[in-house]
Homo-oligomer: A and B are copies of this chain.
């Protein structure tokens, strides 16, 4: 049996709490981050709060092993005086959306090898994709995630705007959007790249620019250049 305390009532904390409740070998307690007076002892204490209060909250915790769940905060930013680690799940957590934990990549880090093994045991109780990731790597993953998630979604947004402006239903782009994502399961991004930029089709590129507003033109030009330069 592993005892776990989760501090924080946000999306990550609540999804994790509910998931651990279903695991026989985990005893889990959830604590509001504003009520830190009575934290029970536990094998693993998970701080699932906003990045900017992780240091402060961790400084008030005396439990033996404390981890946070953030992609962009170093392990050393934890200010507890006991052992430290990180339990980062690379997935978007929305309030009402069920998390498919078996598919979630767990990025784990700990100061002590025995703590790492404990975190790994905990992660294995929920998922299958477990990676040892240090703080520097995790920050890089967090930036990469911004590109493939946040920025990709902005590409969808611009596609949607262009459709709206021309009275075309956005749904017409759906099969292409899904195909683009599925393709990357078997091809590298280099292999999967198609279109006027990689073909250096100047005429089509010019025609496209004529159809865009100034902001869209800037983005079109800079990404076209990125595709052509291979960087």
Contact = CB atoms under 8 A, between A and B. Distances in A.
In the complex, the 6 A-B pairs of residues with the closest C-beta atoms, listed nearest first: A150-B195, A181-B181, A157-B189, A140-B166, A144-B159, A144-B162
B133 A168 contact: yes
17 contacts: A51-B203, A90-B176, A105-B175, A133-B168, A137-B168, A140-B165, A144-B162, A146-B195, A146-B208, A151-B223, A152-B156, A153-B194, A154-B226, A174-B185, A178-B181, A215-B229, A218-B222
B173 A144 contact: yes
Contact of A194 (B150, B159, B194): B150
A19 to B, nearest CB: 16
Task: Decide if the interface of chain A is mainly helix, strand, loop or mixed.
Answer: helix
Interface of A: 51-52, 72, 90-92, 103-105, 107, 129, 131, 133, 136-137, 139-163, 165-169, 172-185, 188-190, 192-198, 203-204, 207-208, 211-213, 215-216, 218-220, 222-223, 226-227, 229, 231
B195 A215 contact: no
A172 B204 contact: no
Given A144-B168, A149-B195, A152-B177, 20 more contacts: A90-B173, A90-B175, A91-B176, A131-B172, A139-B211, A140-B162, A147-B155, A147-B158, A147-B162, A150-B195, A151-B155, A152-B152, A152-B155, A153-B183, A153-B184, A154-B227, A156-B184, A156-B192, A177-B184, A178-B182
